Amino acid sequence: ATVALDFRQVAGGLEVVEPLVAILRDAHSHPDFVRRLARTATDFKPPLGFRGAFATARSKDTPPGTMDVKRGGMLPIVNLARFHALANEVTISATLDRLVAVEELGKLPAEEAMALREAFACVWRVRLEHHAARIASGGEADNDIDPAALPPLEREELREAFKAIVRAQKRLDVYVPSGI
């Protein structure tokens, strides 16, 4: 349901926009749905381990020594933005615009909203640079980054981006208590 409600009109008339927007505006009044959105926003964890060290090869689909930046970076931010938007009657679909709108409503602290926007930009950039490098070397684009191969400042920026995501996810504990 979360992805299905992220629609964008590309061209022409779309008669279903008005009814879908009405559903989005009403989502906040369904506590079970809001809890599920919060759970979705905390399902994907950034690849950080003990004391903020990068955790590599967390899934069988990720090669040893790498971490999936889409799964551990992009998806959590997108899901956090979706949660905050739908929980606060924001019907915008774009992630960064959602974060701005919720911040402007006073429903997300400015520092957290800014940190999530910066984290999104950082992860997006690292991911696209990795895609470009893979394609330039004759490989296929993937999301599996070797953090040791990143320049030191970029590696630290990515670590801080992941930490910002973790902090934002912890704020949702009120909706998703530990152990559930």
Contacts of 144 by beta carbon, 8 Å cutoff, 6+ apart: 62, 63, 66, 67, 68
Predicted confidence at residue 58, as pLDDT, reads 63
Residue given tokens 């959602």 in the structure block: 98
Distance CA 156, CA 175 (A): 30
Token pair recorded at residue 178: 């530990």
Q: What's the pTM value of the predicted model, to 2 decimals?
A: 0.87
Predicted confidence at residue 51, as pLDDT, reads 86
pLDDT along the chain (180 residues), means of 10: 63 70 76 86 92 82 90 96 93 93 97 98 98 96 96 97 97 70
Q: Is residue 72 a contact partner of residue 47, using CB atoms and an 8 Å limit?
A: yes
Predicted confidence at residue 180, as pLDDT, reads 46
Distance CA 162, CA 176 (A): 20
